[in-house]
Structure 1
Amino acid sequence: MKVPSLRPHKFLKQIQKILLLLCWVGICSIQAQNYEWAHGIGGTDFDAANDVAVDASGNVYVVGNFRSTNVDFNPSAGNTANLTADVIDVFIAKYTKNGDYLWAHKIGGANTDDGLNIAVDANGNVYITGAFSGTVDFDPSAGGVANLNDGDGTGFFAKYDTNGNYVWAHNIGTSSKGIAVDASNNVYVIGDFFGTLDFDPSTTNTANLTASSIDIFFAKYDTDGNYMWAHKIGGSGFDFKNGNSIVVDGSGNVYITGNFRGANVDFDPSAGSTANLSSNGDADAFFAKYDSNGNYLWAHKIGGTAYDGGVVITVDGSSNVYIIGAFTSSNVDFDPSAGGTANLSSNGNLDIFFAKYDSNGNYVWAHSIGGTNKDSGRGMTVDGSGNVYITGYFQGFDVDFDPSAGGTALLSANRSTSSSIYVAKYNSNGEYIWAYEIGGDDSNNGAGIVLDGQENIVFTGYFSEDNADFDPSAGGTTPLSNQGQYDIFIAKYCQSAPSGAGSITSSATTVCQSQTGVTYTVPAIANATGYTWTLPAGASIVAGANTNSITVDFSDAAVSGNVTVSGTNACGNGTTSTAVVVTVNPLPASAGSITSSVTTVCQNQTGVTYTVPAIANATGYTWTLPTGANIVVGANTNSITVDFTAASSGNVTVKGTNACGDGAISAALAVAISTSIAPAVSLTSDTNNNEIVQSTKVTFTATPSNTGTAPTYQWQIDGANIAGATNDTYVTSTLKNGETVSVIVTASEPCVTTPTASASLSMKVVSLPDQPFNLTGVSTLNEVVLSWQTTGTGNEAGFHILRSIDDSSNFVNIVTLGADIRTYTDIGQSPNTQLYYKVVAFNIAGETESAIFSFLLTGTNEELTNVYPNPFSNTFSVTLGPLFQDKVNVRLLNLQGQLIKDFGLLDTDALSQKLFDASTISSGIYILELVTNKHRVTVRVFKK
């Protein structure tokens, strides 16, 4: 509670204030209000708020007047919403429940205009009333025009939507002071007028009322401003009546208050009926009730011989009636019943009164508050429990706001002539609960007060003190600075801590890391102006912070935990809700580095493996591969086998997956697809046509192509690996004839059509030819037929026939024969010649010689030997010459010396008697050979 500053020279009042402080800080059981926010709005001139209203969402609407230029209606730091008055203009403004600026408009012309009262319907539409002069545009929008002219009355009432957009505006009365709306959004207006005025704003109808002097009017219009009814309250004399306030109960009954002076003022507007009341002196207060059609139900006056007036009237849920005002008379009876007496007397100049009556106007209680100076009631409201809240101003010292006998609740202004704002609360029985001085003690006034849906107090008025403190708490200081003469203030206070939070509902209690848009909602908490949520670590509110419904995003590091909420307001925190357990399932961890079974991939290669370390929290794996590559084994695992079929180069990546989504993707592993090539090798030797002499050292060289930079080699002989022969050359001197030397090259190039290539050389290895042997010869007249033999290895390149005719040393090569010839006929030799022969076999390796064969050529036997018949058909016979004395071997040879038929070894005697059968041989020319141990005779024969 704010404690008024103590005066050292007023000791008694110091003691009183200390006692009051002790009461406020807890020694007395007194409910308190807590400061939420307050704003000062104004310029260098006179600016004042007259009334305040709230809507169902707690938004705050204020109406009043201002004279200053560049009045900033946006109280937030760094923002402006300036309005400038022409002379004195009306303002209406809207703020959130937290006091944040929404919009503000001015309404005014070249004269004096004033906004006096405000109401808000269930849809947030705004209704204001007041007075104006001249021509005024009631449409504040840019370019909008909705002019009213005071020739039709200087009172007005107007409607705007919840965004401040103009709906309609009408003239009404001379001055319109009070406005109210019912549950159907019908509009009720009260004020005063004189002369004859039309209360039907339509252009086609009239609803004239005529005042004899200054009379009261009250009227009803539908939500579109269409006329329903209007009544006046007045008398016949020259007097005055003021209608100040109007309210409607849940049944549509209408209650009004104000003051009147005069005799026989008729409060029953119906024709033919009267309900006259007469003032006791100057002006008396009145309050009256009418049904929803404006029919009179009852009316009462309150007053003495001096001035007394009702300022505000309100009702509670049971239609009990509450009024507040000011009076100066003594012994004013607040009980209007016959015989009832509830006298109150003013203590001085002007005192506050507030009173309660039941729905029928019967007295319940009444209280006065005041000192010796001026004190007035300007605003009043009632909560759902019937507690009464009042505001206004007071002057002087030690004004007791506790009306109970013996009770004391003193408030003091610092100067007897200054006015301070008060706010006070009483229970439904009128018993004191608390009271505060607000805003300092210069010229200050509380003008309007209202409760929102959480029974937070919002009130308004004006203040003129610099550094005015609007925080009533002990030690609290929330000063507002006055900008000039009078400034507008709007302030809000809470009374009760929020209720306990209900059960939280959620769109998901099992969520994933990185999940967004999860909502948590708790039913609206009574009295809460804000909401404090606790969330699991890593969760953050992205929408709805400080409200009862939040949207939460969970980061990729969020963990499981609890969600709770409690309501907050300036009075404290409510009970925290039961925790909602939220299970946060993790996303897969980031993928590590991919490894591969190969560094280069070949077109159409199969069986390539890619592996990533197991990813924490992953239940699956998503791989991306180059176009044309396909997983053949291990899909959705951390190790895959891939075939590349007509693939293109590209990247391999992987990420872990689970029900919550995907983890961070791995770094890309670049894959370059290479076209497969065919490996080859050529094999050469340092020989001539791959032919060598036995034991010659040979170097073989392998020349590979398309086998990469580091191929390997394996040499073979006849298909068998040669140990240690693994270079690109092979050297040997141990080759044998006909052996095949091969090399197998294994490519280091990965992209080959086959991993190996081979080449071979078949080698001819030549040794010295075999030595001819068994060289023999026979003669026929002048020729010698030689024959010889070899071992049959076939390694001869040919034969040289060497002959000597004088001795055995001077041999001359008489002919060179091919390798397949084993006989030779040496012709043209003279008889009786001694001849020497030898046969030399040769090849590239060298030569070998036969033994020397000597022969004496005589010619006798050839001449005396005869074959008959010759030519022969199948058989023939032989006649030998005289030299054949021994046994004779008879053979038939072809012209190449090859044996065709051996007739055997025969005695010479038997030979002459024998018929030789050659029927099985083919036709042709043959050599018939007859050989003894000394002679050899050959005869050319012909087979037919």
Structure 2
Amino acid sequence: MKHFFSVGGWWMLLVLLSSAVYGQAPQWQNVTSFGSAYTTSTATDASGNIYLTGAFQNTVTFGATTLTSVGQSDIFVAKWSPATGRFLWAKRAGGSAGEQAVSLAVSGGNVYIGGIFDSRSVSFDNVTIANGGNFATTDLFVAKLTDTGSSADFVWAVRAGGNDYDSMSCLVAAGSTLYLATNQHSPAATYGGITVAATGTDAVVAKLTDAGTSVSFVWAQPTGGTSLYVYALALQGSDLYLGGNFTGPTTLGGFPLPNTNIAVTPYVAKLTDQGSSGTFRWVLAGDGGGSVAALAVSGTSVYLAGSMSSSFRLGLGSVSLTNANASTQDAFFAKLTDTGSAPTAVWGQRAGGISHEYVKTLVVRGPAVYATGNFDGLRSTFGSTTLVNTDQVNGLTEDLFVTKLLDAGSTGSFAWTKQAGGSSSDGAYGLALSGGLLYLTGGLSQGGSFDGTTLTGQTSFLAALADPTLATKPLTTSPLAIYPNPARDEVRVRVPTHAGPVTLMDATGRRLRLVTPLPGQADVRVPLQGLPAGVYVLRAGAATGRLVKQ
């Protein structure tokens, strides 16, 4: 008889596993290196495939594909399949000088990248765009690829910018609508047929519509600040949330931002897309030095993370955090509730030591908040976990971290924190959720260690952590059929089409079995001999299921 479990049973398992592994970090697995590319952004599609983008010089190899740069640095986009454990395709774009993709978004079978270029012209397959300024300034670009599964092609590309150094921070997509956030230094910059004037440095949010084989700008909304930067962007329905920092008294969307501090100050703002225009709804600024580097939204909860150089308050003192050393940067994590017309600060957490901590990316699923970044100094503390720098001589180099916080509603706390790295400076750049795994991408200067896996030399990497609360999340679109369940000596798994190997993991995410089905094989037998009784997780591609071992 085949036994399956209800959603209620899944939720109870999720709660039990959350309690069982609280504070216990999972082990690194599926560590892959792919040369000295600089990865800046990651995203996933509905099937759990992972997309990477960034820049590279000379040559870089993604599986069976080797890319060669034409200029000083070129753009790359690559697709990784967790089901097969390999790269499916990789593409390059570029010109005679320097280009870099800084953000990536996926919507259906379309992959969008955004970044900067200072070449006189840049080619994306057969599509070429020209710099609007001159050879020595940077413009922005947005480009679209159509993913056919095992290959991809560029469809269109568009530029924006002026005659100075303009930069892109973020790109998000929903259906055929795209939004980008830029830091405009040019006194005047064009976004399609729209011209935006700026005094000093102003953050600009723009909306584009993808018409299939072409694209057009709909609106471009400046914040109206004079020394204001945007570094993070998140989308929820028609609402956009942006975060960054500002210096000195300024305004954002008509809202005053007083600042009596010499240091830069963090902010979060909400902008609503009204179709043909965008309107700012509210702004919340910190009281003290720092910057918002990452944002994520889930329902009415807005999560932000960044760095703080001194004690600061968020939301009129309702959240107050203190830096361990005011001359360095600590990491902060906070939650807001968006009531529609105004935000409310709910909770905040800091992490750090006597040196620097920086947050790069933030992702959320349910009550779990995941973040990645870098730290230097001999030690850095996240809740009850203290990380020890690989460089124990002076702690001047950077290691990378991944941390998980649990949102309990009115409070938030660290669940676990994991590190990796080598004796030289290393960086974490992107974080993405795929099925039951949390994927991290970054770079190593002179190699580094991921638990039992060691990479050598200067290289970029993709590595995974199996958080059991991710693996046990019910996937109504692709449940994994397991029988018998409970089982004693062997279990049979009905494998979804093209799902790849079947992985058996324990409650800490440690891989115990890996069985690869034969071509056309629908049922896979997984041996259980030698395993103690308990709850385990089975995964095949993006589908997961729980197993009770008797």
- TM-score grouping bracket, smaller chain normalisation: 0.5 to 0.7
Deviation at 1:129, TM superposition (A): 1.1
Q: Does 1:424 align with 2:424?
A: no
* Aligned partner of 2:344 among 295, 302, 305: 295
Residue 329 of structure 1 aligns with which residue? Answer: 377
Alignment deviations for residues 49-84 of structure 1 (CA, whole Å, 9 cap, x no partner): 1111101x131111111111221012xxxx343433
Greater Cα radius of gyration, structure 1 or 2: 1
Distance 2:266 2:173 in 1: 24
Unaligned runs of at least 5 residues, structure 1? 6-29, 201-205, 336-340, 403-407, 414-418, 432-452, 455-496, 501-524, 528-570, 577-944
Matching of residues 568-717 of structure 1 within 5 Å: none
Distance 1:574 1:323 in 2: 39
Q: Does 1:350 align with 2:404?
A: no
> Which secondary structure does the structure 1 equivalent of 2:159 belong to?
strand
* Aligned partner of 2:234 among 180, 185, 188: 180
Distance 1:289 1:52 in 2: 24
User: Is contact 1:47–1:67 with CA below 8 Å preserved after alignment?
Assistant: yes
CA spacing shift, 1:115–1:191, aligned 2, 3 Å? same
Q: Does 1:242 align with 2:326?
A: no
Residue 89 of structure 1 aligns with which residue? Answer: 139
Residue 169 of structure 1 aligns with which residue? Answer: 220
Distance 2:518 2:139 in 1: 40
CA spacing shift, 1:36–1:170, aligned 2, 3 Å? same
Residue 308 of structure 1 aligns with which residue? Answer: 357
User: Is contact 2:34–2:459 with CA below 8 Å preserved after alignment?
Assistant: no
> Which secondary structure does the structure 2 equivalent of 1:295 belong to?
strand
> Which secondary structure does the structure 2 equivalent of 1:226 belong to?
strand
Alignment deviations for residues 116-149 of structure 1 (CA, whole Å, 9 cap, x no partner): 211112x321111121212343432xxx2x1222
The percentage of counterpart residues that share the same residue type is 23
Q: Does 1:195 align with 2:192?
A: no
Aligned length: 381
Distance 1:216 1:278 in 2: 15
Residue 646 of structure 1 aligns with which residue? Answer: none
User: Is contact 2:32–2:462 with CA below 8 Å preserved after alignment?
Assistant: no
Q: Does 1:285 align with 2:331?
A: yes
Deviation at 1:574, TM superposition (A): 7.0
Matched letter for residue 322 of structure 2: L
Alignment deviations for residues 318-359 of structure 1 (CA, whole Å, 9 cap, x no partner): 131000000002231111xxxxx2100222301111111112
User: Is contact 2:139–2:159 with CA below 8 Å preserved after alignment?
Assistant: yes
> Which secondary structure does the structure 2 equivalent of 1:165 belong to?
strand
Residue 265 of structure 1 aligns with which residue? Answer: 312
* Aligned partner of 1:59 among 110, 122, 142: 110
User: Is contact 1:401–1:410 with CA below 8 Å preserved after alignment?
Assistant: yes
Runs of 4+ in 1 over 6 A off after TM superposition: 1-5, 571-576
Q: Does 1:276 align with 2:315?
A: no
Distance 1:110 1:70 in 2: 15
Matched letter for residue 105 of structure 1: V
Q: Does 1:129 align with 2:181?
A: yes
CA spacing shift, 1:363–1:106, aligned 2, 3 Å? same
Which one has more relative contact order, counting CA pairs under 8 Å at least 6 apart? 2
Give the TM-score taking structure 1 as reference length: 0.38
Distance 2:123 2:347 in 1: 46
User: Is contact 1:66–1:85 with CA below 8 Å preserved after alignment?
Assistant: no
CA spacing shift, 1:367–1:63, aligned 2, 3 Å? same
Matched letter for residue 89 of structure 1: D
Deviation at 1:102, TM superposition (A): 1.8
Deviation at 1:362, TM superposition (A): 1.7
Deviation at 1:526, TM superposition (A): 8.0
CA spacing shift, 1:526–1:113, aligned 2, 3 Å? farther
Residue 593 of structure 1 aligns with which residue? Answer: none
Matched letter for residue 175 of structure 1: Y
* Aligned partner of 1:34 among 51, 65, 86: 86
Alignment deviations for residues 626-672 of structure 1 (CA, whole Å, 9 cap, x no partner): xxxxxxxxxxxxxxxxxxxxxxxxxxxxxxxxxxxxxxxxxxxxxxx
Matched letter for residue 282 of structure 2: W
Deviation at 1:31, TM superposition (A): 7.3
* Aligned partner of 1:320 among 368, 371, 380: 368
User: Is contact 1:138–1:166 with CA below 8 Å preserved after alignment?
Assistant: no
* Aligned partner of 1:410 among 449, 454, 469: 454
* Aligned partner of 1:228 among 278, 281, 285: 281
Matching of residues 174-573 of structure 1 within 5 Å: 174-182=228-236, 184-200=237-253, 206-211=254-259, 212=261, 213-224=263-274, 225-235=278-288, 240-249=289-298, 251-262=299-310, 264-267=311-314, 269-270=315-316, 273-281=318-326, 282-293=328-339, 294-316=343-365, 318-335=366-383, 341-348=384-391, 349-360=397-408, 361-385=412-436, 387-397=437-447, 399-402=448-451, 408-413=452-457, 419-429=458-468, 499-500=496-497
Residue 7 of structure 2 aligns with which residue? Answer: none
Matched letter for residue 313 of structure 2: D
CA spacing shift, 1:311–1:3, aligned 2, 3 Å? closer
User: Is contact 2:360–2:373 with CA below 8 Å preserved after alignment?
Assistant: yes
> Which secondary structure does the structure 2 equivalent of 1:117 belong to?
strand
Deviation at 1:573, TM superposition (A): 7.4
Deviation at 1:287, TM superposition (A): 0.9
| Structure showing the higher strand proportion among its residues | 2
